[in-house]
């Protein structure tokens, strides 16, 4: 057994142990109750029984009870890892991304998943290369596995960005109605702080929870400007940032805030409708881009090998796994596919933005 085989065996064991532990942690976290669900249950209890239990009638005590229940449901699975990396810039950036994605994770668990993806990328790539390309040299096998180990954690970053886009899309969907509700509250004689509290109680999720955080921040002593800037930091939506900027400017120069919110609601609604129309017009282009980037090469690969198999000759893709030149061509294929897909996505995002 060579040193490389021993290293692959050890990494495979570590990967398997990490995978089992990760499955256990996911199973444990699925049993926990998210904070939004707790708030919903408490609101339903208030509607059914006409009030909350004694001792939980003040909003600050209710928020404290939510936090205690939430903290009891979710514990830190990797305290040592969190303490070691909590002050690192990467951990702070990762915590901000998790908070913006609004997933029920913490920094320690996310860092553990990143390590799991790194180890699994290295070991799985080594195993696949050993099965499909046994003639490749151990050095090249190690280099390819090392590159895949470095690229594997980006899958989690891409997933977090996807969750962020999903959350922002939900926020922008309910933003016009939320602004209209605030404008009506201001016309009824309420102040801006009272309008925020009204949205936190009667608004549509997920903006209701975000404005509840703003209301609580102002209650605890933060200024309204700081609370709204924190809202923009948690929800990096362009539409919401424009509204918050307009509100902050209006508070300095004066004017009718209700009319401003009505104009903002109309503007956001028109922008969303225009974006949906552009997305509908470019749906065929996006489908063609996906087909050209992934569908057509996969179909050619499958049908060419199937034709070779039916005729009884050597598989069409066999030299790509046995010939050194064919193995090097995989790098060019992956690079061209990834580059073309990223370029097409950039063009489509520019059209939709």
Could you report the per-residue pLDDT of 197-229, keeping only the tens digit for each? 999 888 888 888 899 889 888 888 888 889 999
Looking at the structure, do residues 177 and 138 belong to the same domain, yes or no? no
**Whole-angstrom Cα distance, residue 330 to residue 297?**
13
Looking at the structure, do residues 289 and 265 belong to the same domain, yes or no? no
Looking at the structure, do residues 37 and 90 belong to the same domain, yes or no? yes
Question: Domain boundary residue among 132, 163, 194?
Answer: 163
**Alpha helices per DSSP H over 188-317:** 192-202, 207-219, 224-234, 238-253, 257-281, 283-290, 296-311
Looking at the structure, do residues 33 and 148 belong to the same domain, yes or no? yes
Q: What pLDDT does residue 244 have?
A: 92
Residue 43: count of CB within 10 angstroms of its CB:
12
- Between the alpha carbon of residue 17 and those of residues 22, 273, 334, the distances in Å are 9, 49, 30
Looking at the structure, do residues 185 and 96 belong to the same domain, yes or no? no
Check pLDDT > 60 for residue 13.
Answer: yes
Looking at the structure, do residues 91 and 144 belong to the same domain, yes or no? yes
Q: What pLDDT does residue 81 have?
A: 61
More confident residue, 332 or 180: 180
Question: Domain boundary residue among 143, 163, 183?
Answer: 163
Tally of domains in the chain: 3
Looking at the structure, do residues 116 and 13 belong to the same domain, yes or no? yes
DSSP 70-96: HHHH---S-HHHHHHHTTSHHHHHHHH
pTM of the model: 0.69
Q: What pLDDT does residue 61 have?
A: 46
Task: Collect contacts of 197-205 with beta carbons under 8 A, ≥24 apart.
Answer: 203/174, 203/178, 204/174, 204/177, 204/178, 205/36, 205/174
Looking at the structure, do residues 190 and 151 belong to the same domain, yes or no? no
The count of residues in the chain is: 353
Residue 256: which CATH number?
Answer: 1.20.81
- CA angle, residues 163, 167, 168, in degrees to nearest 5: 115
Looking at the structure, do residues 260 and 301 belong to the same domain, yes or no? no
Question: Domain boundary residue among 163, 182, 211?
Answer: 163
**Whole-angstrom Cα distance, residue 194 to residue 238?**
25
pLDDT one-digit tens code per residue, 249-262: 988 887 888 999 99
- Look over the chain and give the mean of its residue pLDDT values, rounded to a whole number: 77
Looking at the structure, do residues 158 and 275 belong to the same domain, yes or no? no
- Between the alpha carbon of residue 79 and those of residues 26, 75, 109, 171, the distances in Å are 17, 9, 9, 33
Residue 5: count of CB within 10 angstroms of its CB:
12
Looking at the structure, do residues 132 and 271 belong to the same domain, yes or no? no
In this prediction, residues 237-243 reach a mean pLDDT of 90
Looking at the structure, do residues 264 and 288 belong to the same domain, yes or no? no
Domain hosting 346: range is 282-352
94 Cβ contact partners less than 8 Å away, ≥ 6 residues apart: 107, 110, 111
Contact in structure between 211 and 201 (CB atoms under 8 Å): no
């Amino acid at each position: 057994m060579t040193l490389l085989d021993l290293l692959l065996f050890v990494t495979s064991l570590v990967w398997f142990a990490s995978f089992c532990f990760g499955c256990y942690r996911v199973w444990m976290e699925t049993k926990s109750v998210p904070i939004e669900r707790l708030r919903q249950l408490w609101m339903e209890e208030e509607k059914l029984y006409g009030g909350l239990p004694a001792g939980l009638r003040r909003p600050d005590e209710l928020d404290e009870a939510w936090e205690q229940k939430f903290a009891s449901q979710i514990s830190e699975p990797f305290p040592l890892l969190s303490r070691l990396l909590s002050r690192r810039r990467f951990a702070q950036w990762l915590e901000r991304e998790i908070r913006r994605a609004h997933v029920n994770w913490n920094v320690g668990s996310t860092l553990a998943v990143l390590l799991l993806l790194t180890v699994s990328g290295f070991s799985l790539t080594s195993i696949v290369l050993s099965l499909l390309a046994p003639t490749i040299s151990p050095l090249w096998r190690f280099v390819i596995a090392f590159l895949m180990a470095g690229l594997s954690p980006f899958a989690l970053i891409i997933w977090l960005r996807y969750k962020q886009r999903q959350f922002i899309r939900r926020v922008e969907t309910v933003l016009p109605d939320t602004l209209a509700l605030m404008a009506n509250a201001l016309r009824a004689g309420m102040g801006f702080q009272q309008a925020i509290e009204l949205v936190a109680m009667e608004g549509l999720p997920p903006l209701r929870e975000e404005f509840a955080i703003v209301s609580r921040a102002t209650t605890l002593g933060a200024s309204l400007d700081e609370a709204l800037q924190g809202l923009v930091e948690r929800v990096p939506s362009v539409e919401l940032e424009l509204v918050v900027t307009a509100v902050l400017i209006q508070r300095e120069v004066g004017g009718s805030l209700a009319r401003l919110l009505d104009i903002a609601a109309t503007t956001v609604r028109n922008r969303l409708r225009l974006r949906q129309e552009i997305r509908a017009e470019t749906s065929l282009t996006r489908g063609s881009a996906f087909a050209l980037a992934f569908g057509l090469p996969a179909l050619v690969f499958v049908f060419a090998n199937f034709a070779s198999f039916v005729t009884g000759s050597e598989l069409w893709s066999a030299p790509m796994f046995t010939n050194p030149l064919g193995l090097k061509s995989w790098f060019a294929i992956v690079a061209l596919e990834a580059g073309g897909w990223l370029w097409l996505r950039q063009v489509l995002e520019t059209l939709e933005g």
